Every structure is written in structure tokens, then in C-alpha cells.
Structure 1
Amino acid sequence: MNYTSEMEKAMHQAHGISYEVYSSNVEARMKVEQKREQDYVKGKLLIARLDSKVHSI
């Protein structure tokens, strides 16, 4: 995979680490993936709440 400068910038903004650190450090990768999972779950819960409000009107 070709890693672009935009991808590098996004990794820094979202997780505070470079792609090189992400790809070479298992602990850093696990932290990033745990944060991604938490963000995914929060998003799903938010959508479920909004969906229930929309359908209860």
C-alpha cells in the first residue's frame, strides 16, 4: 500500500503518531485500534438514539 502525505497527516491528527510508529509498534497499533473501536461503538449508539427520536415523532 502506498502511504500518502494526507494519510500521514490524518494519522497524526486522529491518533498523535506517525504511520511508521503505527506499523512497527504493536502496542501503539493496539491503542489506535482500541480507540477506533470505541469511536465506532459511540457512533453506532448515537445513530441508534437519533433514529429512535426520529421514529418516535
Structure 2
Amino acid sequence: MSKGLVFINQLQLNYTSDMEKAMRGSHGVGYAMYCQKHDVRMKVEKKRQAEYMQSQRMLANFERKLHS
């Protein structure tokens, strides 16, 4: 390790070229950047969480309309 450098939680992920394309298309970054940069990873994960929450609200709304 180089003097004065500290590496924290570097992810070791196996991914395919299709996964790389999807990551770039959805988030504008590749897996290498996602793995290396904590701030990029956090931005991607916050976006994923927001999209998940939105989908859950849409599903609940749909189910509520379906059963009323």
C-alpha cells in the first residue's frame, strides 16, 4: 500500500457487458467507477431507493383502486 493512502470497502463485483450497458444507461457510470467511488455508489443507491419507493407507492395505489 502506498504511503498515506487508505482504501475502504472496495467492492469486488463480477459483471457482464450487458450489466455494464444497463448501469451506464440508467446511471451514467460504469461498474468500475461505481466500485471505486463511494460518492458515486451512494448517488446510484439513493436513486435506486427512490425508484423502488415510487414503484411501491404506484403498486399500492393500483391495488387500492383494484379492490375498491
State the TM-score, normalizing by the size of structure 1. 0.94
Q: Which runs of 5+ in 2 are unaligned?
A: 1-12
Aligned equivalents of 2:48 and 2:15: distance in 1?
19
Aligned to 2:51: 39
Q: Which runs of 5+ in 1 are unaligned?
A: none
Q: How many residues align?
A: 56
* Larger helix percent: 1
Report the residue type matching 1:11 in the other structure: M
Aligned to 2:39: 27
Q: CA RMSD in A?
A: 0.7
Aligned equivalents of 1:37 and 1:9: distance in 2?
20
Report the residue type matching 2:19 in the other structure: M
Structure number with greater CO (CA < 8 Å, separation at least 6) is: 2
| Runs of 4+ displaced beyond 4 Å | none
Task: Tell me how far 1:8 sits from its aligned partner.
Answer: 0.1
State the TM-score, normalizing by the size of structure 2. 0.80
Identity within the alignment, %: 45
